[in-house]
Amino acid sequence: MDTDLDHQFTDDDYLAYEYHLYCLTSGNSFSCGNLVPWIFKTSGLVTLIGDTTGGGSCVVQNMTTAWGSTFQTSGYSRLAFLKNGSYYDVDQGVEPDVVLTRLESYYDRERLTSIINALD
């Protein structure tokens, strides 16, 4: 990612400590929508705010019928991580770093701003 916007990809382009990144999550984030929060959580670079995601760990598989129609379905591959020598899939969802207990909080810009400012 060209973080300094100079149209060059160099060693100066990194997100690790230059930006504070946040992602809103909810139970409506499921299936492939579970992938991004999971990657963010494992990176340690993004703070998740909201509720535990809806889960889902299958990778989408593209298929074609004999007549040429295409469709997508859940594939046989699963997203998983290794912890203490055992593999765990992410089917149970991803827990946020900061929990929002009320649905209204997702749409309350002032409240979200105060939560984020308290984290820095």
Higher-pLDDT residue of 22, 43: 22
- At 94 the three-state DSSP class reads coil
3-state helix, strand, coil in the chain (%, to 5): 25, 30, 45
Q: What is the pLDDT of residues 60-91, one digit of tens each?
A: 788 999 999 999 887 777 777 788 999 887 88
pLDDT the model gives residue 48: 96
Q: What is the pLDDT of residues 11-32, one digit of tens each?
A: 776 665 567 889 999 988 887 7
Does 113 score more than 90 pLDDT?
Answer: yes
d(CA 47, CA 17): 13
Question: What DSSP letter does each residue of 16-53 carry, written as one string?
Answer: TTT--EEEEE-TT-BGGGGHHHHHHHHHTSEEEEES--
Does 2 score more than 90 pLDDT?
Answer: no
pLDDT the model gives residue 14: 66
Predicted TM-score (pTM) of the model is 0.71
